[in-house]
Amino acid sequence: MTDKKSLPSGAILLGIVLIVFGTLVLLANLGRLPFDLDLKHWWPLILIALGLFHLYNNRNIFDFSGLFLVLLGIVFLLATLGTICWGDVWRFWPVALILLGISIIFRKSPVPMPLSGRTATGSGDSIVQVTNILSGTDRRVNSQEFKGGDVHNILGGTKIDLLEAKLAAGDWLLTVSTVLGGVEIFIPRDWRIEVHPNNMLGGVDDRTRQTPAAGSGKLIIKASALLGGIDIKN
């Protein structure tokens, strides 16, 4: 069985924001607020907040999913406030390509916040580095000292097979993100794993049934899905 998962601080923050926002909307609908709550103009702040939460949860200011949500929220906010016309919103789509390029180039620049696992440092097959855009990737890892890595999937499909690999001693971080696509990760049953999902109109499914070996290392999987899915299984 997998280790017991603690609730991430980012998830607690998002829960508090949703509770406060829901309470304000409820009071506004009941006419109990001493001021007007104009959701007609300010609703895009929800997208911006979700994007910022996504960046915080992934500990990476260059994560494309979070940047895309922030961009979408800003553009919609400008439109609702009348700064730009709704007909001009489509003109901003090239900014998404710019953000995607920035995310690919600087994806290894994390925000200086504490992580529960070490980021991957190594060479050859000991770490996995996959960036899949508009295509398919099928990677089999045979390293006997696996140390995590990064998997980014956009508008495509990615399969990572770790069944023949062995985990290095210590705690290691595997960051997986998908946008409008799917990722499959196959994990050996004798590994200790800890999955931290982050879903936005997507899903992260942990189907593993672990019987970890004594004294083995631990793989921490930070998985984020935006309009896509991540499937972790044996």
- Segments making up each domain of the chain, as ranges: 9-105, 124-233
Question: Shortest CA distance to 188 belongs to which of 169, 160, 150, 152?
Answer: 160
In whole angstroms, what is the distance from residue 58 CA to residue 127 CA? 18
Classify 110 as helix, strand or coil.
Answer: strand
Contact by Cβ (8 Å): 172, 198: no
Handedness of CA 116, 188, 63, 39 (dihedral sign): negative
Query: Which pTM does this prediction carry?
Result: 0.63
**DSSP 8-state class, residue 143:** -
In whole angstroms, what is the distance from residue 194 CA to residue 214 CA? 16
The b-or-e profile of 147-160 (16+ CB within 10 A means b, else e) is: bbbbbbbbebbbbb
Token pair of 190 as six digits = 């004798």
Print pLDDT tens along the chain (234 aa).
444 444 555 566 667 777 887 888 788 778 777 767 677 777 888 888 878 877 776 667 777 777 888 888 899 888 888 888 888 888 888 888 888 788 777 765 544 444 444 444 444 578 888 888 778 889 999 988 898 988 888 878 899 999 999 998 888 999 898 888 899 999 999 999 999 887 777 788 999 998 887 767 899 998 888 888 999 998
